[in-house]
Structure formats: C-alpha cells, structure tokens
Structure 1
Amino acid sequence: MVNWILGDRFDTVYPHKGSIKALWESKWKFCSQKSIYPFHDGEFEDFEPIFEELIAKNINDPFTDAYTNAFSPIVDKLEEEATTALNNSHPDRAADLFRRAAVVLRISRFPYVSPTTRPDTVTKRAALDRQKYLYMKAASLWNPVINEVIIPHTRRSAKDGPSIPLYIRVPEEASADRPVPVILLMTGLDGYRPDNSQRTHEITNRGWATVICEIPGTADCPADPADPESADRLWTAVLEYMAQRPEFDMTRVAAWGLSAGGFYAIRAACTHRDFLAGSVAHGPGSHHFLSPEWLAKVNDHEYPFTITDSWAEKYGYATTEDFIQNSQKKFSLVETGIMDQPNCRLLLLNGVDDGVVPIEDSMVLFNHGGPKEGRFFEGTVHMGYPHSLPVAYKWLEDVLSPNATQVKN
C-alpha cells in the first residue's frame, strides 16, 4: 500500500462529485470567469445561462445527450453572430465569436470522445465535429493561420488507422532559408486539437511552429489504443513527416504532453530521444495512476466527473474492471522498462495535490534511467496551473535556444 502524498484527501469524496450545481458553484464558475482549465479561451457570459438551465433541470450526468444538447442554443447564437460579422467585413469580430462557439462545444462534449462512435456517443461525436468546424473558421482568420493537415500513417500496423490528422501553425517568417523550432503538442484525455489556442499563440509569438496531435484512444487519433507501442509508431510517422517540411528546424524539436498526453511525452523522451531536443510532461501519469489502489479512489477526487470508464476505453479495454486489474502491468512506463532507457532532456510539471494522477508518478521517474528535471507546485492540483505554464515556456526557451547543448541522458 502506497503512503500517498495526497494524504487524507486520497480517501475523501470531493464535494462537487455527482452534482452539476456543486460543480458549477464550487469550481467551474470560477474557471469560466478566469478562462482557465477546462474553459481555455472561453467567456463567462456564454456559460452562465447554460449551467443555470442544467441546474434547473437537474441534469447531472455529462455522458447524456441532455447534457450535451443544453449547449446548442448558445452555440447557434454565437455562430449566427459570427457569420453576420464575417459577412459585414469584421473578420476579427467573427474570429472571436467562432472561437467562443468552439469553446462552448468543447465543454458540451466533455469529458471524453472516443475514436470509435457508438449509438450512445453519436451526440458527443457530433459536438466534437462541429467544434472542429467552427474552430477552423476562427483559426483561418488568425495571423498566422492554423491549418489542418492529414498525413498518411506510414508506420501503421494492422490495427492502426490509415491517416493522422494534425493541426499545424507556422510563423510567417519561417522558410527553408530560415527554419524554426517546432513544438509537438500531445493532447489529453478530454482536450483535443481545437483546445490549445492560447498555447499556439504563445508558441508562434516566440517564433516557433506547433504541430498538434491527439493521443491514442482519443478523438481522431488512428493509433491502436490497446497496443502500448502504437504511440511509438504514431510519433515516428509524425516526426518523419515534419522532417519533410523545410521550414522546420528538426534539430530543435520539443514535445509537450498535456495531462494524459504527459504519459506519452515521458515515453517519447525515451523512445524518440534522438529526435527530440527535450520533452515536457505536464500533469503526467506514469505508473501508480494505473494501480488498482489508485483507481479505486480516483473517481472521488478533483476530476469534474468520473474518469475510470473513459480511461478504460482510451486504453482499449472492453470493461472498466479489466482496465483496473490489468492496465498497470501492460502500460506502466516503470514496469515495462521504458524508463530504464536513456532519455532526452525531460521536464516533469505538476501540482503536488493532484488527485487525477498522483505526484508520485513524477517522483518515481527520478529513480530510473537518465537524469530528469522537475518542478512541482505545492497547494495546486492537476497540471499545477497557473504557476506551471511560465516554467514550461522558460524551459522550452532554454532547450530550443540556438546555443543550447543537447545532451541525451
């Protein structure tokens, strides 16, 4: 039995669980006012009437169509206003409204969309597809624009899909004569390609390009979720495609994995160490988060809704019980020996009080393989927001500096 750093909170049922009213009033109302996770780039005025309706109708289950459909009227309104603004030659206003509509859809299809659409997930999938459509209408009006590029999965196995969809944003000054560093963003369990506007702004403002790819078992990712090595094939195909673009400086590529993507950023730091100058694992799980002991309590913690069913499907399990009993041996980066390999520079970021993945999952990595770097924020939960973001950007600036010395540990 692990003596969890989370302490008594490991056995605590957090007060927002099971109640949309408690979730809104104790957590999400504040998040929407501050435009922080999961309301990145959102507007409070868009969400307040939606949650008032959900509370009035006592809709507490986000996996139902009733939850997702409650967001549609606001999306319709924002899309109509955006179209009018565009037709009246106000592209900046239109872009802002399309973006806001996409953020509302992001919360409507929360918390998880599988690559496999079933009858009970049709509404969530439709919300994601509409989100992508409206988001790209916004992103096409930005400077620089975001483009969707669909590449062949050249390294696929029999159970991988044939193509990999990417969002790519490149500074205007990038060229074959002036190639720029690249950040490969690996998305999370509930945050997908259209959910990283602010990050792409920050990245391109620094003169870097960004390539956004979803992780196995989520959204539009073609990688076989049940195969631990499918991610390795995925990143190889993506990096080989990136190497064909002359405006990318492939000597200065860094990965940045977000939440569930942090797991893959850690893995890639080992499996793709010769291709990466560095890798940021932000809010990562690695080992303990897949233990039956942790999984028995995680649904009671800070995540807005239940998470184990989504994790089970994301990792390719037919039942949650099978996932709980068997996933650690199959996927743990410690048990499988991945972490005993050398690694490129690897930064681990998280909040000490994370109840989604334990801080122990970052700390255990210091006992395996090459040296790691870490910054853990006391008194903060999953991802260590807002303190972790400045640290990530500063570290990436150092790693991607033309004068940086790249050492494989």
Structure 2
Amino acid sequence: MAATSPYLVAGSFTKVAPHHTSVEALWDIKWRKPCSMGIYPFVDGHVEDFDRRRLTEPYDPDTFAAAFFPIAKELEEKAAQAETTGDVKIASQLYLRVAALYRIARFPIARSSKTSEAWTLGKAAYMKASLYLDPINTELTIPHNHSDASAGDGNIIHAYLRLPPHASAIEKVPVVIFICGLDAYRTDHTSRTSEHIRRGFACLSIEIPGTGDCPAAKDDPTMVKYS
C-alpha cells in the first residue's frame, strides 16, 4: 500500500512563525502595514496613533484595551478644539481616529468591562464624526416588533443610515444593507459605505445576534429580527 502524503497544513501547527513570538512582533510584522493602508480592522485609523502606545499581550482584555485609552482621549480633545474653531473636516478625521483606536481596544469583541467601555466610547466618537461626513451618518432606533422578552431579546434595533444627496421621498434609491457580524460592528464601514453612496446607493448598517448592540438574544435559534 502506497504511503499517504501528510496534509499540507499539518506541519504548520507546530511551527512558530516570527510574528508569534510576541504581540509587538505581530504588530511589526503583520499588523502595521495593513494599518498604514487603512485596511480592516484599522479603517479610519492612523498608523502613528498605534505606534505611540505600547502593546500588551492580549490575554487580559481589560489590560490590553486600557493601553489605547490615553491616546484616544488626547485625540478627542484635539477634535473638540477643532470643532470650536470651526475646522469640522479636521474634527471629523480626529473623531474617526478615536473610534478606530477604541475599535482595536475592544477587538475582536466586547468581552470585558474595559472592552465594553471601549465599544461605548467608540460609538460616541463615531457619531461625533458622523455629523461631518459627506453625506452624514444618521443613527436610527427601530422598534424590534418581533422581540421575545422571555428569550432575552431587547426591543430596539440600533442602525446607521447614510443617504446619497439626491435621495428623497420622490427620488428613491436602492439600499445596500450591511449586516455586520463577528468582529465587525456598525462603526467599522465608513469607506465601504462611502463607495456605495458614491454609486447612488443608500446604506443601512445593522448587526447580527451577539454582535454590537443587536437586540436579539445570542442563543435564540428562533430569532426573527430581519422579518
């Protein structure tokens, strides 16, 4: 009987790649370049913001998240100053950078006290930036009419909506629905929604159960949020 060949991936399980040695190595070798290019999950961020803080190992999510807070707060103060002087373009860019820092602070999911705080602060910063996006990003609260409180459902669906400038009750436009899941929340799609809007689509961003602020119970298989 002929010998069987090993699976191609089998040998990889025991290899230690250079970027596996520490989270700093992971940043330098794997993460820094996509961050500098604005690739997800670093959308809206600036690489120098992430270069400035000292990464910690991610085994304690609160400790990992806390490293991002001082720089985020510093940038938010600068954004507020820019608003005061009327430089709303700079303010918007700074608020988006703040939201990006808080995104990585809670990444991949909000799973502890500090990562949940990062999610809350990131949403607030993103909505401040949203006022100055072109077109603006509007927060919607939609009644969850199919919610089942006994299953643990909430009664509000939180969503973001961006409309192309020509959209109106008379001139209707098609809608792209961004169904955000896993590690991607509704604050993470500025560039994607901008590209669709440029092509004449409206964009509605919502989240699946277990993600962001989705009101549906995480463990309810009968969830009918999108009915």
Query: TM-score normalised to the size of structure 1?
Result: 0.51
1:268-326 CA-to-partner distances (Å, cap 9, x unmatched) read xxxxxxxxxxxxxxxxxxxxxxxxxxxxxxxxxxxxxxxxxxxxxxxxxxxxxxxxxxx
Q: Does 1:130 align with 2:127?
A: no
Give the structure 2 partner of residue 99 of structure 1: 96
Pair 1:166-2:159 in alignment: yes
User: Which residue among 96, 113, 118 is the counterpart of 2:110?
Assistant: 113
**What aligned pairs does 1:164-203 form with structure 2 within 5 A after superposition?**
164-203=157-196
User: Which of 196, 201, 208 is residue 201 of structure 2 equivalent to?
Assistant: 208
* Aligned position for 1:29: 32
Deviation of the 1:227 alpha carbon: 2.2
Letter of the aligned partner of 1:127 in structure 2? A
Q: Aligned partners of 1:18 and 1:63: how far apart in 2?
A: 17
- What is the match of residue 71 of structure 2? 74
1:229 is matched with 222
1:153 to 144, 148, 155: 144
Name which of structure 1's ranges 192-201 and 37-46 shifts more when overlaid on structure 2.
37-46
Amino acid at match of 2:136: V
CA spacing shift, 1:177–1:44, aligned 2, 3 Å: same
State the match for 1:245 in structure 2.
Answer: none
2-structure distance, mates of 1:18, 1:162: 45
C-alpha distance in 2, partners of 1:152/1:25? 45
Q: Secondary structure at the match of 1:193?
A: coil
Instruction: Give a deviation string over 1:72-102, Cα, whole Å, max 9, x none.
Output: 1110111011111110010111101111111
Report the secondary structure of 2:221's partner residue: coil
Quote the Cα distance in structure 2 between the aligned partners of 1:93 and 1:9: 49
Report the residue type matching 1:107 in the other structure.
I
Contact 1:113 1:190 in 2 (8 A): no
CA deviation vs aligned residue, 1:118-142 (integer Å, no higher than 9, x gap): xxx1111111100000101001111
| Identity %, equivalent residues | 38
Equivalent position to 1:11, from 13, 23, 30: 13
1:64 to partner: Cα distance: 2.6
Shift of residue 37 of structure 1?
2.2
Task: Write out aligned runs for 1:363-382 (5 A).
Answer: none
**Aligned amino acid, residue 132 of structure 1:** K
Secondary structure in structure 2 of the residue aligned to 1:228: coil
Distance 1:20 1:49 in 2: 15
Question: Deviation per CA, 1:374-403, whole angstroms, max 9, x where unpaired?
Answer: xxxxxxxxxxxxxxxxxxxxxxxxxxxxxx
Runs of 4+ in 1 over 6 A off after TM superposition: 3-6
TM-score in terms of structure 2 length: 0.90
The whole-number CA distance in structure 2 between the counterparts of 1:60 and 1:84 is 34
What root-mean-square deviation, in Å, do the aligned CA atoms of Structure 1 and Structure 2 show? 2.1
AA matched with 2:44: D
Query: How many pairs were matched up?
Result: 220
Which runs of 5 or more structure 2 residues have no equivalent in the other structure?
Answer: none
SS state at 2:210 partner: coil
Instruction: Work out whether residues 82 and 97 of structure 1, in 8 Å CA contact, stay in contact via their aligned partners in 2.
Output: yes
Rounded Cα–Cα distance in structure 2 between residues aligned with 1:172 and 1:62 = 45
Q: State the 1:229 CA deviation.
A: 3.1
